[in-house]
Structure 1
Amino acid sequence: MMLQRPDADAMLATAGLDGEMAAGTRPGLAAALAALENERGLSPAGRERALAQFEDNLARLAAIARDRADHPEIADVVIDRPVFILGLPRCGTSILHALIGADPQVRTPLQWEVAAPSPPPEADTFDTDPRADGFDAYAAANFTGAWADVLKAHPIGARVPQECGMMLETAFHGINPSMLFSLPGYYAWYRDADTSFGYRVHKMWLQHLAWKNPRKRWVLKVQEHAYHLPELMSVYPDAVLVQPHRDPATVMASISRLIEVIRCVSFEEIDRPALGRELLHLWHDGQVRSMAWRKANPQIKVHDLRFKDIVADPVAAVRGIYAHAQMDFTPDTENAVNSWWAANPADKHGQHRYELADYGLTREQVESVYADYIAAYRDYL
């Protein structure tokens, strides 16, 4: 039986979005709702979870827009040479983001402030804002049972740096709906869309968060930037790009396990081989786009590095990024990096275990699909 599709315009109106904000958000929202209608694997609870997530996305964007309307000076906040960490999932991007985010001169979006952005955070109360404790309480209540395994692979906490995807998805120009709820129709729309509006919203977020709590530089990360580097660079022409690399066979096993755990609360059952095939090609799509863009824009230098080198010597890895980004690597920076590394061992929440064969994949299959990536970045694998 076909489920009734919620109306995109009604959802936008309920959230209080109109004008440019509604017009820019509507195409992606409509694509997500259409894909949700056609997704048969979701449980009833999973479908409710998806709709609640969509409504939350719109509410967060509306909050940003209202504060901006009330305080037009937010639009004047300068975002200077932001550093974007690219790359496949599971190749050290989150580690780098957190290592650099520990530096007091650096600003990363934190999970609590992206979840509850209004009113804009302030420097004087940033470390004691009750919204942080509220986020931690939410995480403690929700990341339990089967979902607790998420913590073995991906850190969740109020003061943990948040990925850009949680900001891009408020404009429905991010990949998160596909990660959480499959939705292949939405992924096809996202992959081929012009996401310029999404990156304008992304900049609105950074200006909003920095207005009363600035730092010298922003450092950001999410794997989906690979799909839309032209749009990213159109909004941030002075962006600095960093890309760690890792053996794609290991990447595919690890991300398949993580997405299986993330989706397990929303699906009646997970078809592991189908999940493996989906993610194998989905993430390769992004690298095809990224490699083509890099080849066409050799004047924009990207700092490549190996996952193995990040875990072997995190201080040296961060120092290299700072040199590339023309950032000051101070004694405080080194102390912050060492302190974070000591406090966050890889197995802090238990071992994240995965096997490629669990998802119907072989090393030969992965290396065949990723032959172009392996050839391009062999020295960094």
Structure 2
Amino acid sequence: MGRHLVCTILERNYKNSKLVLNYMASHPEVKMANNPLPHPLVVCGMPRTGSTLLYNLLACDPACRALLYAEMAQPVPPLARSDTTGQMQRNNSLQGFREMFITLGLNGHLRNMRASHPQLPYEEDLYFLYHTGYNWLHTMLASHDDNELLMWLENDINKKFIYEYHKIFIQMLNSIDAPSSHWLFKTPYHTLYLDEFMHHYPSAMLIMTHRRLDDALASMSRSASVYAAPYFDNNKADTAIDIQTVVKRILHLLDTLIHRLVKFRRNHPYIPCFDVQYDDLLAHPINTVRRIYNHFNLSWSEEFETTMSAWLRDNPQGKQGRNSYTLDNCEMTLDDIELRYNEYISMFLGSQHSLNIGCSMTKSADSMIHSLESPSEK
């Protein structure tokens, strides 16, 4: 069953990439038009740090353009948001994937996935990067730790095609339904290739979300386990070993992501970036968004604020369920984290959140990470 799911997803993503590229090839006027993309506002940083909440609040701005899950899952033909009939038809046609989960007896897994990451109309642009073969979850499912897919994903060389496709995709949507102010992107996994991303979007306004690493790592480990579970046979005696392998691999990927984030900020101190603390966001969500808009000199409106208030009222934390997690599942301690990620903590989680360029990165003897040691980030 797991192989069937992987093959179904791979086939769908390949089909979508082919549809997008063929559409753009048959509409050369889209790329030739002298209509530069508005400066994008980009939520990145670490996963499980409140980025989904922040993204959905930012998407409440009627002057911006966030990505709908439906238009990434079924992108051709591109539809304007005002095309309510077309949007409804597309949403109905996308029920097939959910029905497949139910038919395969995976409805319980689907509920767990929604508890880990709620199902909402707006989604992160990672979903159409899947069209390029960029899929972190599939690296978790390979049979060997030193699998080629994981090594390719973590290597930041030769990723130009990913963001060429990203820009082509956005140009396609922009030609049908452009924002009056800016595009809004979001995925923590842009952090793996921020230099390449900024090459394609040099005017991007970056927002990086941060949270205590013991919470962020434990939460992401739990999330990866939940998303990987449908691919394994729960009747096998070694399923728990398979899931623990997923945890080990996601921690390795997060290790690469953290080091690369630190390297990017150290090397590019003058790129516009706004840091958001998880606790601040939860305590003062609308004020946090207001500070972001002030920082980037974006226009605020009463309609925007009213829509955010309504969204917060209608989507309380845990509405679609909750997943519990502890650091014990990661086989790491607070001391391990503080030693290995000293520079990240100094940069973003200290009292002043200032760049401490003189810090050195100390590696712990943590077995979960050293069994798959990261490539040098020097």
Query: 1:48 and 1:359 mapped to 2: Cα distance?
Result: 29
Query: 2:191 and 2:85 mapped to 1: Cα distance?
Result: 33
Q: Is contact 2:79-2:86 (8 Å) kept?
A: no
**Aligned: 1:164 with 2:135:** no
Query: 2:297 and 2:349 mapped to 1: Cα distance?
Result: 26
Paired letter, 1:302: C
Q: Which moved more, 1:301-310 or 1:280-289?
A: 280-289
Sort the Cα spacing of 1:378 and 1:127 in 2 relative to 1 into closer, same or farther, 3 A: farther
Matches within 5 A, 1:27-176: 45-75=1-31, 76=33, 77-126=35-84, 129=87, 130-136=89-95, 138-139=97-98, 142=101, 144-157=107-120, 159=121, 161-176=122-137
Paired letter, 1:347: G
- 3-state SS in 2 of match to 1:288: helix
Query: 2:19 and 2:300 mapped to 1: Cα distance?
Result: 36
Unaligned runs of 5+ in 1: 1-44
Q: Is contact 1:166-1:176 (8 Å) kept?
A: no
Shift of 1:273: 4.1
Q: Is contact 1:254-1:354 (8 Å) kept?
A: yes
Q: Which moved more, 1:81-90 or 1:129-138?
A: 129-138
Q: Is contact 1:181-1:263 (8 Å) kept?
A: no
**Aligned: 1:203 with 2:187:** no
- 3-state SS in 1 of match to 2:45: coil
Q: Is contact 2:228-2:246 (8 Å) kept?
A: no
- 3-state SS in 2 of match to 1:333: helix
Q: Which moved more, 1:241-250 or 1:188-197?
A: 188-197
243, 252, 276: which is aligned to 2:247?
A: 276
Shift of 1:371: 2.1
Sort the Cα spacing of 1:279 and 1:367 in 2 relative to 1 into closer, same or farther, 3 A: farther
Paired letter, 1:353: S
Shift of 1:362: 2.6
Shift of 1:181: 5.9
Query: 1:294 and 1:342 mapped to 2: Cα distance?
Result: 35
TM-score, normalised relative to structure 1 = 0.82
Paired letter, 2:17: L
Query: 2:327 and 2:333 mapped to 1: Cα distance?
Result: 6
Sort the Cα spacing of 1:52 and 1:136 in 2 relative to 1 into closer, same or farther, 3 A: closer
Q: Which moved more, 1:108-117 or 1:320-329?
A: 320-329
Shift of 1:260: 0.7
Superposed CA deviations along residues 121-180 of structure 1, whole A, max 9, x for unmatched, are: 1243147521123335643663721231111121224x2x22222222212245343256
- Cα RMSD (Å): 2.1
Shift of 1:114: 0.3
Aligned residue number for residue 30 of structure 1: none
Unaligned runs of 5+ in 2: 234-238, 354-378
Q: Is contact 1:50-1:181 (8 Å) kept?
A: no
- 3-state SS in 2 of match to 1:264: helix
Query: 2:15 and 2:50 mapped to 1: Cα distance?
Result: 31
- 3-state SS in 1 of match to 2:185: strand
Shift of 1:247: 0.4
- 3-state SS in 1 of match to 2:183: strand
- 3-state SS in 2 of match to 1:124: coil
Query: 1:358 and 1:293 mapped to 2: Cα distance?
Result: 29
Query: 1:154 and 1:285 mapped to 2: Cα distance?
Result: 22
Paired letter, 2:158: D
- 3-state SS in 1 of match to 2:247: helix
TM-score, normalised relative to structure 2 = 0.83
**Aligned: 1:191 with 2:149:** no
Aligned residue number for residue 26 of structure 1: none
Aligned residue number for residue 357 of structure 2: none
Q: Which moved more, 1:83-92 or 1:316-325?
A: 316-325
Sort the Cα spacing of 1:134 and 1:279 in 2 relative to 1 into closer, same or farther, 3 A: same
Query: 1:283 and 1:273 mapped to 2: Cα distance?
Result: 15
Query: 1:299 and 1:339 mapped to 2: Cα distance?
Result: 36
Percent sequence identity over matched residues?
26
Q: Which moved more, 1:120-129 or 1:88-97?
A: 120-129
Shift of 1:357: 1.2
Sort the Cα spacing of 1:49 and 1:136 in 2 relative to 1 into closer, same or farther, 3 A: closer
Paired letter, 1:280: L
Report the count of equivalent residues: 335
Write 1 or 2 for the structure with the bigger share of helix.
Answer: 1
Q: Is contact 1:180-1:259 (8 Å) kept?
A: no
Sort the Cα spacing of 1:316 and 1:359 in 2 relative to 1 into closer, same or farther, 3 A: same
- 3-state SS in 1 of match to 2:319: coil
Query: 1:127 and 1:214 mapped to 2: Cα distance?
Result: 19
Q: Is contact 1:260-1:270 (8 Å) kept?
A: no
Shift of 1:48: 2.5
Aligned residue number for residue 308 of structure 2: 337
Aligned residue number for residue 18 of structure 1: none
